[in-house]
Amino acid sequence: MSNSAAIILAAGLGTRMKSTLPKVMHPLAGRPMVNHVIANLQQAGVKQIACVIGPDMPALEKAVAPHKTAVQVDRLGTGHAVLAAKDVMDGFDGSVLIAFGDTPMISPETFSRLLSAGTDADVVVLGFRPHDPAAYGRLVVTEGKLKAIVEYKDASDEERAINLCNSGVMCVRGSKLFPLLEKINNDNAAGEYYLTDIVAIARSQGLSCTVVEGNEDELLGVNSRVELAKAEQLVQDQLRENAMINGATLMDPASTHFSYDTQLGQDVVVEPNVFFGPRVTVGDNVHIKAFSHLEDTSLGKGVVIGPYARLRPGADLKDNVKVGNFVEIKKAVIEEGAKVNHLSYIGDARVGPEANIGAGTITCNYDGFFKYQTDIGAGAFIGSNTALVAPVKIGDNANVGAGSTISKDVEAGDLSLTRAPQKNFVGWAKKFRSSQAAKKAKK
C-alpha cells in the first residue's frame, strides 16, 4: 500500500493499570505495546505514522520517535483524539488507518485487509464477534452495508443484541476523515466526541462504509495488568511456535520466555526456564541449559551456556565458548573456544581464544566511581579464586596461580601468584583434637 498512513490513539491515562508509566509503554515481549502497533503497521506497508499522546508523556514521545506525535490536552473522546492529529497529517489524502495503542496484537495481515477494503470504501471498520460482546460498540448492518456504530451506553436493547462489535480500528479515506470528524458532537450518554459517529455521518452524505471481520485474539485490548498478562501469553505462544518452526528445540516451550527480537540459529536447544531479554542473537548448534538469563547478548556457533548462566548487556561469546553454572558476564568478548565454567564474574573484559578461567574468578572492574578493563590473552590459564583488579592485562599463555589478587600486568608465558607462603605444623591437628576430646569427656 503505497499511499497509506496511520494514527495511533494513545492519549488515555490507563488508570486501571495503576501505574506511573503511560499504559501503552508497558512492555509485551520486551517492547512497549505501542511499538508493536507501529511495527505491525510498518509491516503492512504504512509509511507515515502519527501518535496521539497525552500531555507530559516525554517517554512515550521518545519511544515512538522518529514518528510524529500530536498532544491531546483534554481527553474528550476518540473522535476528539483523532482530530488532534489533523495538523500532523497535513492534508494527507491516502488511506488513513486509525489504531489504538493499547490493542497491540493486530497482525500486519489484518491491517492490510483493511487497507485493501479501503480502496473501494470511504470508511472500513474492523469488526469482530467476541465471546462476550460486553460493552463494545455494536455495528448496525442493514442490507449488507454498515449503517452506524452505536456505543453500548447509547444502544437500545435491540442494538445490544447485535453480536458484531467494533474493535475500534478503522480505515478512512484521508480526504474525508477530518471533514467528517468536524461534524461530530458530544450529544451522547458519555458526553464524549465519538470517533464511531463518523459512520452514520458518512452514510448521510452518501459515502460508502463496510466491515472487515477480525479474530478476537488479535483484538484483545489491554486495560489492566491482568489483560497485559493475557496478551503476553498470546505473544509468547506465537514467538515459541515461530522458534520451533524455524528449527529450535524448546524442551519446555511454556517456560521459555522470548523477546520480540530474539534470533535463534538452527539446531539450538533450549532447556526449561530460560529468559531472553531484548537483543539476543544465538548462532547454530547452541545449547542453552536450564535457568539461564540472557539480554543484549550474542552467542556464536556451538556455544554451550548454563545451567544458571547470566549473560548481561554486551556479552559477546564467539564460536564454541563454554560458560557454566553461576557465571555472570557483562560487556565482555569471550573469544573462540574459551571456557568460563564455574562461579565467575567477567565484566568489562576480553578473554582470549582457548583461555581457561578457573572457578571463582572475578574481574574487579569498578572502584566505586569508574569502570576499568581486563584483558586476558589467548590460551591463558587463570587459577581458581583469582581476583583480577582492573585495569590489568594477562599475556598470552600466561598462568595465574589459584587464590591470587592480580593488580599488575602479567607478561606472556609468565606465571604470577600472590599467595601467602604455606606453613605446615607437624602433628599439630592430632594433638589439638585429643586434648579437646579429653576436655569434652570431663564435662
> By CB under 6 A, is residue 363 in contact with ligand UD1?
no
> By CB under 6 A, is residue 168 in contact with ligand UD1?
yes
> By CB under 6 A, is residue 276 in contact with ligand UD1?
no
Query: Long-range contact list for 16-25, CB < 8 A, 24+ apart?
Result: 16/223, 16/224, 17/223, 17/224, 17/225, 17/228, 18/225, 21/59, 22/53, 22/54, 22/57, 22/59, 22/60, 23/101, 23/102, 23/222, 23/223, 24/60, 24/101, 24/102, 25/59, 25/60, 25/63
> By CB under 6 A, is residue 200 in contact with ligand UD1?
no
Using CB under 6 A, pick the residue from 101, 214, 253, 379 that binds ligand UD1: 101
Which helix (H) or strand (E) segment holds residue 247: the answer is: none
Name residues contacting ligand UD1, limited to 367-406 (CB under 6 A): none
> By CB under 6 A, is residue 111 in contact with ligand UD1?
no
Is residue 26 flagged as an active site residue? no
| Strand bridging mode 68-71 / 123-128 | unpaired
Which helix (H) or strand (E) segment holds residue 225: the answer is: helix 225-245
Q: Between residues 52 and 97, which has the closer beta carbon with respect to ligand UD1?
A: 52
> By CB under 6 A, is residue 123 in contact with ligand UD1?
no
**Do 195 and 81 touch, CB atoms closer than 8 A?**
yes
Maximum separation of any 2 CA atoms in the chain, in Å: 109
> By CB under 6 A, is residue 221 in contact with ligand UD1?
yes
Using CB under 6 A, pick the residue from 78, 256, 292, 320 that binds ligand UD1: 78
Q: Between residues 127 and 347, which has the closer beta carbon with respect to ligand UD1?
A: 127
Q: Between residues 224 and 399, which has the closer beta carbon with respect to ligand UD1?
A: 224
Q: Between residues 15 and 205, which has the closer beta carbon with respect to ligand UD1?
A: 15
> By CB under 6 A, is residue 128 in contact with ligand UD1?
no
CA-nearest of 5, 304, 317 to 174 is: 5
| CA–CA dist 27, 23 (Å, integer) | 9
**How far, rounded to the nearest angstrom, does the alpha carbon of residue 443 sit from its chain's CA centroid?**
66
Using CB under 6 A, pick the residue from 92, 194, 258, 276 that binds ligand UD1: 194
**Please, what is the minimum distance in Å from the beta carbon of residue 203 to ligand UD1?**
16
Please, what is the end-to-end C-alpha distance for the chain in angstroms? 93
| Strand bridging mode 95-100 / 209-213 | unpaired
**Please, what is the minimum distance in Å from the beta carbon of residue 118 to ligand UD1?**
18
> By CB under 6 A, is residue 81 in contact with ligand UD1?
yes
**Please, what is the minimum distance in Å from the beta carbon of residue 12 to ligand UD1?**
2
Applying CB under 6 A, what is the total number of residues that bind ligand UD1?
27
**Do 21 and 33 touch, CB atoms closer than 8 A?**
no
Q: Between residues 80 and 322, which has the closer beta carbon with respect to ligand UD1?
A: 80
DSSP category for residue 372:
-
Cell of 383: 587459577
Residues with active-site annotation: 342
- Which positions lie near ligand UD1, rule CB under 6 A? 9-12, 52, 72, 75-78, 80-81, 100-102, 136-137, 149, 151, 165-168, 194-196, 221
